[in-house]
Structures are given as C-alpha cells and as structure tokens.
Amino acid sequence: MSDILIIGGGVIGVCTAHELAKRGAKVMLIEQGEISSGASYGNGGLIVPSHCVPLAAPGVPLQGLKWMFNPESPFYIKPHFNFEFLEWMLLFAYASRRGPMMRALPVLSELLLSSGRIFDEIAREGGFPFGYEQKGTLAVFLTQRALDKGLEEAHLVGGFGVETRSLNGTELCELEPALRAEVAGGIHYPQDAHIDPAGFVIGLAEKAMELGVKILTHTEVMRFETEGKKINQVQTTRGDFTADQVILCAGAWSPVVLRELEINLPIQAAKGYSITLETPEISPSYPLMFPEARVVVTPFKDRLRLAGTLELAGMDFSIQSRRVDAIRTNSAKYLQGLENAKVTEIWRGLRPCTPDGLPVISRAKQFDNLIVAAGHAMLGMSLGPITGKLTSQLALGENPEMDLAPLRLERF
C-alpha cells in the first residue's frame, strides 16, 4: 500500500509525485501510456508569467463563434450538443465578462510567477538537462491595430508583477533578425522562459523514481471501490491498488475518470497542434508569440517548434490538416527561412480547459481521500511546479502557501 496514488503521468502528476517524494511520502504513479505521452509531450514549452490573462476574457466567445465555419481558423468551436459541452459554454460565457476575468488575473499571475521561480531553482539544482533558458519571450504583431491591443494587455498584466518592454519594428528585428522587416512591433516579456517539455517531464520522473516513486506505465485506471466517503481501491487494467490518498492528475481525461465517482468536473478538451522542424538556416533565437495567428514558436537545441490552434471538439484526436498547414503558413508571415525546413514531427494534444481559465487544485468534498489537480488549459507546463507544490501541501495536511479558494472544485 502507498501513502499516495497519483493518476496521470503528465507534467502535473510528475511534478506532484516529485514534490511528495522529496518530502518523504511513499508514492505510486499510474499512467495509461508512457510518461509525458498526453498534452505534456509536444507543446510549446513556454514558461509564461506573461500569460496571466485567462482564456475566458471579453470578446473571446464571440471570436470563437465567428470563426466556427473557417477550416483554417486558429480558434474553433465544433458544434456538438451534449449537456456537458453546453454547460461548459454557458460557464465560459459567464467567466468571460470583465469582472470574473479581473478576479482570475491576480490568481493566475501569482501562480505563474511562483512557478517560474521554481523552474529556475530546478534548473540551478541541475541533475538533468531540460533545455531551460530564460531570455524572455517576444510577442510580435503584424498590424498596428493588433500591436495597440497587445500593448493594452501588456499594460494590464504589468499591474500584476509582469515585466514588459515595448519595441518598435526596427528594434524588434535588431533583437531577433529572423523576423521579417514588415512586423509592426512587439513586446518583450523578460521573465518568461522556455524548456523542452517532454525532456523536463521525463527527466523529473526519473528523479522522482530515484527518490522512491513507483511508476506504472501502460496501466489504465478503470474504476474505484468506495465505501461512504472513502476510496478503498483503485482498479486498473493491471491489478487493484490501495492508498491512503488518491490524487487525480489526468488532464483532459479527468472528467471521464471522475464520472466513475459520480463527480462532475467541467473540463473540455481543447485540441492544439505542433509542427517540429529541423532547425532552419535562418532560425529565431528567442521564443516568439504571434497573437494574431495564435501561434507560438520555440527554438530548441536542434529543432524549431511551431504550436497553436485551439479546437473545442471534445475528446477528438483527429488531425485537421488544413489547420496544421495554417500554423506554418501563418508563421511564415512573421518569420524568414521556414519555407524549406524539414518537418520531423506533427503532433496534437488535448489541453484540459476549465470554463474560467483557472485550474482546479482541490480536495473533493465527496471523498475524504481524493484530491484533484487538473484543468491547466494553455498553461500546464508553466504551472506544473507550483501545482506540484500546492497539491503536495494539501495531501500532507500542511497549510498551502497560496489561498486555494479560487481553485476549489466546488466553484462550478
């Protein structure tokens, strides 16, 4: 029997397992595939305190509806009418008003800035390479109108501890010569960083194993045996397990697992794609964000990754080639040198999105020994380390270092 059983081997489950093992807990982690085979595999790897404006923001639902019939749009809501989706859309529309957004913003910025500091500590401790580099990100705009909107957002997040520096087109191209001269300008966010996401999760899982964490891969959690307010047993495709506490970190699959416990968690999967290229001859040295195209570009040691699009289409793993192609075509409007770069991998992943853009880090009131850590949407890599810390503080009965009330499960 373990003290703690974690379901899900993505960034959230692995950060939680590592943190708990550091504090001496006996931990088992169960993963249905390989470690980091879900959304934590091929994402942009950006660690972005600058992204503290939640997805649920004024104008976003309307933009999604406008783009509904465009097969190349970077934000797409697939019409599908089940109860969970309609409930989620209503909650999303409600959370997208200015009031709720302004309440979510300081919560996200505190989480993101704390997590960024932990990444820095992990990198300084060394032990495994994960491509950590903190030179900031550059948000780049093609039109003056979009730049003005970007500067407004920079001003807003600047009020919550995010450092920003605006750059005109010439300054931007001097800093990042791979950009096309036509860009209107941009913003440098120096506290941002970037990592190799799968390298980080797999490396940290190995460190956790050295600290005693038992990891079972290719093992799927199917059901639970419960008694009153207690989960007695976790039943998997490879046997049944018991533990004092169960922590659910199953990303976009979390609502499916919780359904077995008759708990409703409004998380919708938001599919995104990445295209990984061999490093082109002209390649950026800064991670870049193109808000008009909703694409991010991350330079790794020997690769360049373009990532983007957000498709609310349920648990759908199909690859929509036109949207994938649009990521590359749109990136080429900002960047030189992409035309002949060889593709090494096309990937899709499902972001676990709550309707209000905040994750759930919470005990479940239905069971005394269940904790949920899920719903990190577009920020799961950035928020992994702080989530691991807060979740382990909850599990060990300590006072969490941040107020977790805005992240509780019962808020929906």
Q: How far is the CB of 102 from ligand FAD (least distance, A)?
A: 22
**Under a CB-based contact definition with an 8 Å cutoff, are residues 277 and 299 in contact?**
no
Among the residue ranges 3-11, 91-99, 163-171, 396-404, the one whose residues contact ligand FAD (CB under 6 A): 3-11
Query: Burial level of 233, CB count in 10 A (0-12/13-18/19+)?
Result: middle
Residues from 392 through 411 that contact ligand FAD (CB under 6 A): none
Q: How far, in Å, CA of 10 to CA of 95, rounded?
A: 27
Applying CB under 6 A, the span of 41-49, 67-75, 127-135, 395-403 interacting with ligand FAD comes to 41-49
Closest separation between CB of residue 221 and ligand FAD, Å? Answer: 4
Q: By CB under 6 A, how many residues form the interface with ligand FAD? A: 43
Specify the DSSP class assigned to residue 228: T
* Binds ligand FAD by CB under 6 A, chosen from 2, 6, 10, 27: 10
Q: Is 316 in the site for ligand FAD (CB under 6 A)?
A: no
Using CB under 6 A, which of 9, 54, 64, 291 touches ligand FAD?
Answer: 9
Q: How far is the CB of 308 from ligand FAD (least distance, A)?
A: 6
* Closest approach of ligand FAD to the CB of residue 49, in Å: 10
Q: Please say which residue, 9 or 185, places its beta carbon nearer to ligand FAD.
A: 9
Token pair for 51 = 């992204």
Verify binding: residue 349, ligand FAD, rule CB under 6 A. Answer: yes
In order, the DSSP letters of 348-392 are EEEEEE-TTS--EEEE-TT-TTEEEEE-BGGGHHHHHHHHHHHHH
Please name the residues in contact with 110: beta carbons below 8 A apart, sequence gap of 6 or more: 402
Among 16, 32, 50, 362, binds ligand FAD (CB under 6 A): 32
From the CB of 350, what's the least distance to ligand FAD, in Å?
7
Furthest CA-CA distance within the chain: 66
**The one among 2, 6, 8, 101 contacting ligand FAD by CB under 6 A:** 8
Alpha carbon distance 205, 209 (integer Å)? 6
Asked if 7 is part of the footprint of ligand FAD (rule: CB under 6 A), the reply reads yes
∠ at Cα 189 (185, 192), nearest 5°? Answer: 140
Q: To the nearest whole angstrom, how small is the minimum distance from the Cβ of residue 99 to ligand FAD? A: 25
- How far, in Å, are 12, 13, 113 from residue 385 at the CA level? 8, 10, 11
d(CA 56, CA 360): 15
CA distance 245 to 231: 8
Q: How far is the CB of 144 from ligand FAD (least distance, A)?
A: 26
The verdict on 313 binding ligand FAD (CB under 6 A) reads: no
Closer to ligand FAD by Cβ: residue 109 or 274: 274
Residues engaged in binding ligand FAD (CB under 6 A): 7-13, 30-33, 37-40, 43-46, 220-221, 249-253, 257, 272-274, 296, 307, 349, 351-352, 374, 376-382
